[in-house]
Structure 1
Amino acid sequence: MKLISLIAVGCVLRFAATVHGQTEVMPTHRDLEFAKAGEHRLLLDLYLPKEKGAQLLVWIHGGAWRRGSKNSMPLGALLKEGFAIASVDYRLTPVAKFPANVHDIKAAIRWLRAHAGKFGYDAQKVAIAGASAGGHLVALVGVSNGHPKLEGTIGAHGDQSSDVDVIVSFYGASNLTTILNQSTPHGLSVRVPALELLLGGHPDKHPEIAKLASPVFHVDAKDPPLLLIHGDQDPQMPINQSLELLGRYLGKKRKVGFEVIFGGRHGGREFYDEKRIALVKKFLDKHLN
């Protein structure tokens, strides 16, 4: 499959996957509780390499914001490259609508920073990555540091920062006010019910919430390096979503990479092969060290 890379004020790269037949690994620590939302326990799995002091990568799963779990952690090859990885569960939209998912992820980052000494990884700088709905959420978490409506009060480590230092977004949404206008009929059949669950109604009827949930409206001149990966034939998350976020980053002169997979759809092996792992590792090494 033909591949094109565009480097814009920064680097370009990519990543690997358990769910697509790639390197399978087992968590070192499973079901660690990082917070509670009422009676809902929020859990993460921690994958640790043998060496102490590993850089930390937080993984956020996809599933249209309404399904999926931390068990889908496709980055086993990066663990073998020496990264510590935390795969995080968040409240899904049948349980709690936006911004609960963002609050949960930020709480997980604060917990991970507070427990770095106990588990032996380095959390002075933190990378975050995700795919599909997870790609949307990691971008939003990464560009919304300090936002009073998005930080939340979940968890017991309010003294810790929820900021991240690198973002890797695989085929995620970036503008919930435009995504439906860009979608195919199939995409609409998937996106409309998912967005209604996420936002509490159709985006057209909740424009302010849709803007709050859209990374493009939060980009500023202090945002961390961002890598975007998207297939040009994605029927569910139009590639224009990544193009919009790319444009905002370029407008603020931030470091951003954009990689297009021609013929690529919504995920697949080509997003997670050996070459992409090496590229993402290089990107992370550059911006975490």
Structure 2
Amino acid sequence: MKAIFILCGLLCLNFKGYSQEIELKKVQYPNGFTEQLNVVYTKVGDWEGKLDLYLPDMSKAPSPVVINVHGGGWNKGTKESQTGFSRFFKNGYAVANIEYRLTGVATAPAAIEDTRCALIYIINNAKKLNIDPNKIVIMGGSAGGHLALMAGLLENNPVFDTNCKSATPVKVAAIIDKYGITDVWDWAYGPIKTSKSATSWLGAKAKDDAFTKSVSPLYQVKKTSPPTFIVHGDADPTVPYQQSIALKEQFDKMGVKSELVIVKDGLHGKFPKEDNSMVDTKIMAFLKSLGL
């Protein structure tokens, strides 16, 4: 009995420590901002897609907005894990922080469909939210970077808009891609990295090359594609930085404005503080160069 009590104590201690480690922080925003949490932007069966909105003073001119998409290999992650929006708030941006269906709920292309729905929700409700529909930025890291790219690069292509429709053009002013997956087939089967997250997300279509290309940003770049900022660490052990280089080459080939920042010795979303500050500064400079 004594041994059981000791074991329980160790488990409880470890669990307590784990809980503290993953404790989620509340998004801090400036005075004058308001929040709308868990707004339902789409429904698919019993699943509700929700987003959190942080809006500047509604009495002022319509604001630009950044739509943020969390990462996690399409199989984990939450919108509540995302809190670093201070630079956007300081520059007058509204923020829409979204969730989407993970692999355990639905495989590809569900996460793309949901991200497109969130984008369309913002466009359709721009007037009510006092958002400038011509100043929409979509941003994400890792799988979130992939989804941000797909949502923006598809433009008016409704191929994954089955659950949501828009009477107005679907467009974004800019994309911010942080170490995102640009070629899903390469991430699943490539010479540098093979990812079970990729094959799990592709599900029954894991060997369908044509489908995999249709859900890969690398193959969606066109002359009309939105300006895109890309950042990647050259020591990334999860998503090879060569994927971002290939994407940059496609933008250059099509004559689309883009910027690629390679962080020396940068890991997967783990950059030194000074590099994070440098990247944030470059992102804001890129957006300002676009009049955003």
**What TM-score comes out, normalization by structure 1 length?**
0.83
- Give per-residue Cα distances to partners, 1:131-182, cap 9 Å, x unaligned: 00001111122212233422x2223x53133321201100011112223324
Q: Provide the rounded CA distance (Å) in 2 between the counterparts of 1:202 and 1:154.
A: 20
Partner SS, residue 81 of structure 2: coil
Shifted more, 104-113 versus 43-52: the winner is 43-52
- When you count helix as a share of all residues, which structure comes out higher? 2
- Measured in 2, the distance between the counterparts of 1:239 and 1:99 equals 24
Counterpart secondary structure, 2:105: coil
Give secondary structure in 1 for the equivalent of 2:285: helix
Contact 1:55 1:288 in 2 (8 A): no
Equivalent in the alignment of 1:6 = none
Is 1:125 paired with 2:128? no
Counterpart selection for 2:240 from 238, 241, 246? 238
Q: Partner amino acid for 2:63?
A: A
Over alpha carbons, which structure has the higher Rg?
2
1:173 aligns with 2:175: no
Q: Provide the secondary structure at the position in 2 that maps to 1:248.
A: helix
Q: Does the Cα contact within 8 Å between 1:110 and 1:161 map onto a contact in 2?
A: no
Q: Does 1:115 align with 2:141?
A: no
Measure how far apart 1:199 and its partner are.
0.7
Please give the alpha-carbon distance, in whole angstroms, between the structure 1 residues aligned to 2:205 and 2:117. Answer: 27
Aligned counterpart for 1:28 among listed residues 31, 35, 39: 35
Deviation of the 1:54 alpha carbon: 1.5
Q: Counterpart in 2 of 1:280?
A: 283
Cα contact 1:183–1:236 (8 A) shared by 2: no
1:173 touches 1:237 (CA, 8 Å); kept in 2? yes
Aligned equivalents of 2:147, 2:258: Cα separation in 1: 17
Which residue of 66, 73, 90 corresponds with 2:75? Answer: 66
Task: Report the CA distance between 1:206 and its aligned residue.
Answer: 1.8
Aligned to 2:168, what secondary structure does the other structure show? coil
Q: Which residue of the other structure, out of 209, 212, 225, is the alignment partner of 2:211? A: 209
What TM-score, normalized to structure 2? 0.82
Change (3 A) 1:24 1:38: closer
Indicate if the aligned counterparts of 1:166 and 1:288 stay in contact, CA closer than 8 A: no
Shift of 1:76: 2.8
Verify the 8 A CA contact 2:156 2:169 in the aligned structure 1: no
Equivalent residue for 2:86? 76
Distance 2:219 2:181 in 1: 12
Cα distance in 2 for residues equivalent to 1:98 and 1:146: 20
1:5-64 deviation digits (Å, cap 9, x = unpaired)? xxxxxxxxxxxxxx9x99952671100111111121111001123354211111110010
**Gapped runs of 5+ residues in structure 2?**
1-21
Contact 1:195 1:202 in 2 (8 A): no
1:86 pairs with 2:96: yes
Tell me the CA shift for residue 265 of structure 1: 0.5
Deviation at 1:218, TM superposition (A): 1.3
User: By how many angstroms is 1:278 displaced?
Assistant: 2.4
Q: Which amino acid aligns with 1:254?
A: V
Tell me which of the two structures has the higher relative contact order, counting C-alpha pairs closer than 8 angstroms and 6 or more residues apart.
1
Aligned-residue Cα RMSD (Å) equals 2.3
Which amino acid in structure 2 is aligned with residue 212 of structure 1?
S
The answer to whether the 8 Å contact 2:25/2:81 transfers is no
Gaps of 5+ in 1: 1-18
Show the counterpart of 2:114. Answer: 104
